[in-house]
Amino acid sequence: MPKCFCSLACLLACLLACSRIAPCFAVQIVTWHSSSHSSRNKMSAAQEQLDEELQKYKDMFTLTPETLVRITDRFVETLEKGLHKDGQTVPMLPAYVFGWPTGDEKGSYLALDLGGTNLRVCHVTLKGKGEFDVTQTKFRLTDEQKQCEGQELFDFCADCLNTFIKDHFGGRDGEVHLEEDIALGFTFSYPMEQERIDHGKLVRWTKGFGNPNTEGNNVADMFKKSLEKYEVPIKMTSLINDTTGTLIASNYVRPDTRIACIFGTGCNAAYMEHIKNIPKIAHHKLPEDEDMAINCEYGAFDSFEHKHMADIRTKYDEYIDLHSNKPHEQAYEKMIAGLYLGEIFRLVMCDLVDEGVLFLGQNTYKIEKPNVFDTAFLSLIESDPTDELLTVTGLFAHFFGLETTIEERKFFKQLAELIGTRAARLSSCGIAAIVRKMGYQEKGCEVGADGSLYSKYPRE
C-alpha cells in the first residue's frame, strides 16, 4: 500500500462528496493497485516531447498583464452598453432589489436554488447581526432533466421542495407543521428579465440546459403552477438570480460587500448600481438617488462576434463552443466555468493521444467520450500532494482504465495549472471592470463569491 494512502483516500473522498462519481467507488479504493513505480519505458512518452508540448500549451494558455488590461477595458465598455440599451450581449438585467440589508433582518424562510448542476432546497433562519442557520438538501440534476419539457423541470423542483418540507416539517401524524405564511424565495441561475421581484421572463437557457417551451416565459408562473400541482403549502414571494442572492447574502454577513460573483457550473456577477446610471429604465421614473442590484449575466461577454478575445481564443475554446447546445453564446463563461474546464483538459489529452504522445499502447476509448472529465478532476490533480502523484495515478486507472507514467502525471499537473490559472485571470477581468466602473479602486470593497469551482478549487 502506498505510504500516502490516507491523504489519497481523503482527497478521493472529497471528490466523491462533490462530484457525480458513484459512491460505490469508495469501496474500490481499498483494493486499489498502483503501478506508479513500475517502469514502462515502452509506454511512457519521451520527456523531451512532453516538455515541448508543455511549452506549446504555456504559450497557448498564458495571458499577459497587457492582455488582461485590454480585456478589462473592453469589459467596462460592454457593461456600460448593457445599462444603456435593452437586448445587448451582456444584458445587465435590473433585479428590482433596492439597497442593502441592515444585517438585523430576522425570520424563517425557504429557498429553492436551481443551478446548472444541482437543485438545492434550504431552510434559512436569519438571526440578526449578520448571523444565520441553514439546513440544506442537494439534488443532482440529470442530463434528461436539463432537456425535458420546461414544465416537467419545474414539477421536479416542486416535488423536491415537497419532499424537503415533509422530511423537515412533517410530524408523526403525517401532518406538515410549518410556520404560517413561511415565504419561499426561488433562486434561478439563468438570465431573466424582471419587471418585479416575483416575476422573471427567461431570456435564454445557458449551461447546457435546453428545456423546450420555457425561453420567453415567466418562470415564476411556471413554478407556481407546479407548486399547485403538488399542493405544496408554500407561497413563492420572490424570484432572484443566484448572483443577486449572493450579493445580498454576502452583504448581510459582511457589510462592505459591493459585488458578488459565481464560479460554479457557469460564471456571472451582480453589483449594486445607482439608478441614475441605468438609462434604459429611465421611463420607470424610479428615485434617481437610490440603488438597484444589477445581474450582469457577463458570462455572455464576447459572444457571437468573438472580437474582444479573438487573440486568446484557442482551438479548444472554439471546439467546445461549436459543439455546445448554444454555439457562440456565453463565450466568456465557456473559458472559465466548471462545466467547461475539465472538457478543455480532456480535449488537449485527446490531441496528444492522436499525436502519439500520451498513453502509448493503451485503449483510450473511455477518455475520448465528450464531457467525461469533470472539472473536479483538475482540482484533484492540482492538489495531489505526493511526489509520485499517486492521486493522479489512481484517477486515471479507476475512471479511465489508463496507466500513467510519472512524466505524464507531471505534465497533467502543469496542464491543469495552466487551464485553471487562465480561468482565474480571465475571471478577474470581469470583477476589475465592475470595480473600475463603480470607482471602487481607491477605497476598495469586498467581493462575495459562491459556487463549487470557487470553493473547491485548490490554490489561492
Closest to 36 in 3D by CA, of 26, 44, 28, 27: 44
Min separation Cβ 113 and Mg ion, Å: 6
Q: Which is nearer to ligand ADP, 308 or 456 (CB)?
A: 456
C-alpha dist (Å) from residue 332 to 160, 187, 222: 32, 22, 30
189 assigned to active site: yes
Strand ranges in 129-194 using DSSP code E only, listed in sequence order: 131-140, 183-188, 192-193
Cell of 312: 486568446
354 assigned to active site: no
Q: Which is nearer to Mg ion, 115 or 299 (CB)?
A: 115
Tell me which of 91, 115, 191, 420 binds Mg ion, using CB under 5 A: 115
* By the rule CB under 6 A, 270 interacts with ligand ADP: no
Q: Which of residues 12-51 bind ligand ADP (CB under 6 A)?
A: 18-19
Which one of Mg ion, ligand ADP, none interacts with residue 456, CB within 5 to 8 A by kind?
Answer: ligand ADP
Amino acid at 29: I
Tell me which of 116, 200, 394, 448 binds ligand ADP, using CB under 6 A: 116
Query: Would you say the C-alpha torsion 361, 366, 370, 374 has a positive or negative sign?
Result: negative
Q: Please work out the total of residues on this chain that contact ligand ADP, with binding judged by CB under 6 A.
A: 19
* By the rule CB under 6 A, 420 interacts with ligand ADP: no
* By the rule CB under 6 A, 161 interacts with ligand ADP: no
Compute the distance between CA of residue 48 and CA of residue 401 in angstroms, rounded to an integer: 25
Min separation Cβ 456 and Mg ion, Å: 13
Binding mask 332-351 for ligand ADP (x = CB under 6 A): ------xx------------
Cell of 361: 499502447
Compute the distance between CA of residue 194 and CA of residue 43 in angstroms, rounded to an integer: 58
* By the rule CB under 5 A, 94 interacts with Mg ion: no
Enter the DSSP assignment of 45: P
Cell of 434: 465592475
Tell me which of 184, 247, 433, 453 binds ligand ADP, using CB under 6 A: 453
* By the rule CB under 6 A, 190 interacts with ligand ADP: no
Q: Which is nearer to ligand ADP, 204 or 437 (CB)?
A: 204
Min separation Cβ 373 and ligand ADP, Å: 10
Q: Which is nearer to ligand ADP, 246 or 405 (CB)?
A: 246
Cell 411556471 locates to 222
Helix/strand/coil for 76: helix
Strand ranges in 131-193 using DSSP code E only, listed in sequence order: 131-140, 183-188, 192-193
Q: Burial, 181: exposed, middle or buried (Cβ in 10 Å; 0-12, 13-18, 19+)? A: exposed
409 assigned to active site: no
Which one of ligand ADP, Mg ion, none interacts with residue 457, CB within 5 to 8 A by kind?
Answer: ligand ADP
Closest to 36 in 3D by CA, of 404, 408, 407, 380: 404
Q: Which is nearer to ligand ADP, 214 or 265 (CB)?
A: 265
Amino acid at 227: L
* By the rule CB under 5 A, 264 interacts with Mg ion: yes
Helix (H) or strand (E) holding 240: strand 235-240
Q: Which of 19, 189, 250, 452 is catalytic?
A: 189
- Buried-state track 15-26, b at ≥16 Cβ within 10 A, e below 16: bbebbebeeeee
* By the rule CB under 6 A, 427 interacts with ligand ADP: no
Interface residue list for ligand ADP (CB under 6 A): 18-19, 115-118, 264-265, 338-339, 374-376, 379, 451-453, 456-457
Interface residue list for Mg ion (CB under 5 A): 115, 242, 264
Tell me the catalytic residues: 189, 204, 242
